[in-house]
A = this chain, B = another copy of it.
């Protein structure tokens, strides 16, 4: 049998395997960096066959690169592993496989885990772990504490999930207990196809970092996301695991979901500023100012004038939609308009429920 194995290894090295070609991956997911920081595209909630996912860990790396991401966390369920009978290894195995693959791809994989309990507290992710195994313990508070003691970044997943709270969205006493102990640092504003308004409110009240994650089990192409894979934009000093960790604890994130950007105004403003190029030409003879706006990003930019009267008077179009990586032309017909500015709501940059980033253009 030893001999047989030796032969096999020889066969493989000779002509069963082809030396892998350098992979060329393409992506149209483009966001500008902001002044001080790089804008990293991340997904911190991902499953593999080692829990109830359907793909091998290294597939998650190539998939994420093709999706245009910079970093992911592997977060297999600790307590729910339906393929367990067919697998060996421990709770670190899935992230170890992915981390090894990532090394060869200039990509960042963060070791994580999903503490998977009934409500409360529901499901909780811990990332930047050194060792997942100590988190496998009966008492959920002990499990979260074990993560905390490793310096993990910890967040509450999908607080709006109907399967756990069919008719309510409640912040339970147990969440208060964990939060008070400093064990909760973030909350999923977006999970898979769902947006959770309560998460936003709690995040603002309690200074939690907001996240937008895929919770992917199948593949990007077969998952019914809303328009695209949800992504957490992270503003980090560099492309490194430590810099991402710093950014998460410092709440430097935005959520990209349903072709819109959600989050704190200061980051929205910085991102928006670098997202557009504007050219202007005023023709006084015909009382028109012509604008050309180029959208340098992958998020559609939709501008709606705040003053609907000037739309009715046909001074300005009622909606200016600049699709991703597209140039749009329109004009302001100012013959019957005496103001110096037109103010817009940016309907795809949202800093609170129904509150949009403001933007203004010169009339002339």
Residues of A within 8 A of B (CB): 4, 7-8, 11-12, 14-30, 49, 53-56, 58-59, 62-63, 65-66, 68, 79-80, 83, 85-89, 93, 97, 103-106, 116-119, 138, 163-164, 218-222, 239, 281, 283, 286, 288, 290, 294, 314, 316-323, 325-333
Contacts and interface: CB of A to CB of B under 8 A. Distances in A.
A42 to B, nearest CB: 16
Given A55-B56, A62-B222, A24 B317 contact: yes
B328 A118 contact: no
A294 B322 CA distance: 20
A54 B49 CA distance: 10
A325 B15 CA distance: 39
Nearest to A329: B25
Nearest to A25: B329
A144 to B, nearest CB: 16
Number of copies of this chain that the complex holds:
4
A49 B56 CA distance: 7
B15 A119 contact: yes
A322 B26 CA distance: 7
Contacts of A54: 55-56, 58-59
A314 B222 contact: no
Contacts of A325: 28, 30, 325
B286 A103 contact: yes
A314 B15 contact: no
Contacts of A62: 218, 222
A23 B4 CA distance: 45
Contact of A104 (B19, B97, B286, B328): B286
Contacts of A328: 24-27
Given A24-B328, A56-B55, A163 B65 contact: no
Contacts of A85: 88
Closest 10 CB pairs of A and B: A221-B221, A106-B290, A325-B325, A54-B59, A22-B317, A24-B330, A54-B56, A18-B163, A25-B329, A49-B56
Nearest to A137: B4
Nearest to A138: B4
23 contacts: A4-B138, A11-B116, A12-B80, A16-B80, A17-B80, A23-B317, A23-B329, A23-B330, A24-B321, A25-B328, A26-B328, A27-B326, A49-B55, A55-B55, A68-B327, A85-B88, A86-B87, A88-B88, A219-B219, A219-B221, A221-B222, A239-B281, A325-B325
Contacts of A288: 104, 106
A332 to B, nearest CB: 8
A26 B56 contact: no
A105 B83 CA distance: 20
Contacts of A55: 49, 54-56, 59, 219
Contacts of A221: 219-222
A54 B15 CA distance: 21
A118 B327 contact: no
